[in-house]
Amino acid sequence: MFSSLDHAMMQRAITLAKNGQFTTAPNPNVGCVIAHGDEIVGEGYHYQAGQPHAEVFALRAAGERARGATAYVTLEPCSHYGRTPPCAEALVKAGVGRVVCAMVDPNPKVAGRGVTILQQAGIEVQVGLLEADALALNKGFIQRMKTGRPFVQLKLAASLDGRTALANGKSQWITSAPARADVQRFRAKAGAILSTSATVLADDPSLNVRWLIWVRRYSNITQKRICASLCA
């Protein structure tokens, strides 16, 4: 059903989508690649709610070369007017010949309507390429759209004897550096951090993202894409 070239292009779109993983909330992470055969003529990703979607950035980069091309999108193009116009209509207007979506958008406002708009315009649409990878991009968004509940991650560290702190209260890390780095990534992606009152009173935790590398990454992505949007 899908060629090795299709897989490579969708993998590129998924990689692009990850660039927005700290900045898109409450919107999902989405990447888009527009190509003629093995030549990429435009690509982009969504980086912030209220700003252009991935498809729009890719179409801007492709220009007239989008006509007759294949668009690879990690999530079904939106079909409704929100803070930005529908991406499905933008793809139709640009004249793309084929659209490959990794998955259908679980948002009730979309939920297959984007695919329908494309198909009614005579565009070939295929869904399901690298779907598992696309699902992993937006666990929180998908959980919220399907159930109305948040996606919750629990962080717990304990020693082999079941302890979480020294008896005298003078504790040091009991987790490894990679584990602590994982926690900072989880925090950077999260919409909120919850803690018990006992922890707050005893430790006065900062509850922020302390991994400077990721803080810098967040700032650079936001600044770069805002400038690109304003200058477009």
Any idea which residues carry the catalytic annotation? 55
On whether the CB atoms of residues 30 and 48 are closer than 8 A, the answer is: no
On whether the CB atoms of residues 32 and 71 are closer than 8 A, the answer is: yes
Calpha distance 51→4 (Å, rounded):
32
Give me the long-range contacts of 142-151 (CB less than 8 A, separation at least 24): 142/28, 142/106, 144/26, 145/106, 145/107, 145/108, 146/106, 150/191
**How many Cβ atoms sit within 10 Å of the Cβ of residue 157?**
13
Alpha helices in the chain (DSSP H): 4-17, 54-62, 87-94, 113-120, 131-137, 139-147, 177-189, 197-203, 212-231
